[in-house]
Amino acid sequence: MVINCNDVNTIEDVTKKWSYLDSIGLGDMDNKLVACGQDTDSNGYNELKDKYEKYYSHYPEKDIARAMCECCKEKNAGGLARVSSGSQWEQFYKCLEAKGYKKLNI
């Protein structure tokens, strides 16, 4: 299936493009993994929305959602971003920064 990010307007549009169910979590390792398809239907938590609200809310949601979609496409396999070095989130943040979106330092 080819993912088209041009029709993305919200973070929820991003999560709908991947099928992912996090019914139990992965314990200590879970916070290092990017689950692009995790939404409130899977376990009441939307991981990408949480990161948007914490670190990227200074950008319009439509813009960051499309960038997140592209980063998920670049790094994804079955809903989880691949690790090249560091945590998956570090790589995801670097991808967003390369697209012009800087994370707020909290």
Distances (CA, A) of 14 to 73, 84, 96, 105: 10, 22, 14, 24
Residue 50 CA: distances (Å) to CA of 1, 15, 56, 72: 26, 12, 10, 15
Give the chain's mean pLDDT.
80
* In contact, 4 and 46? CB cutoff 8 Å: no
Q: Tens of pLDDT along 27-43? A: 556 667 777 877 766 56
Domain locations in the chain? 11-21+29-98
Q: Which residue has the higher pLDDT, 41 or 9?
A: 9
Mean pLDDT (whole number) for 59-76: 91
* The model scores a pTM over 0.85: no
What pLDDT was estimated at residue 20? 64
The amino acid present at 77, given as its one-letter code, is: A
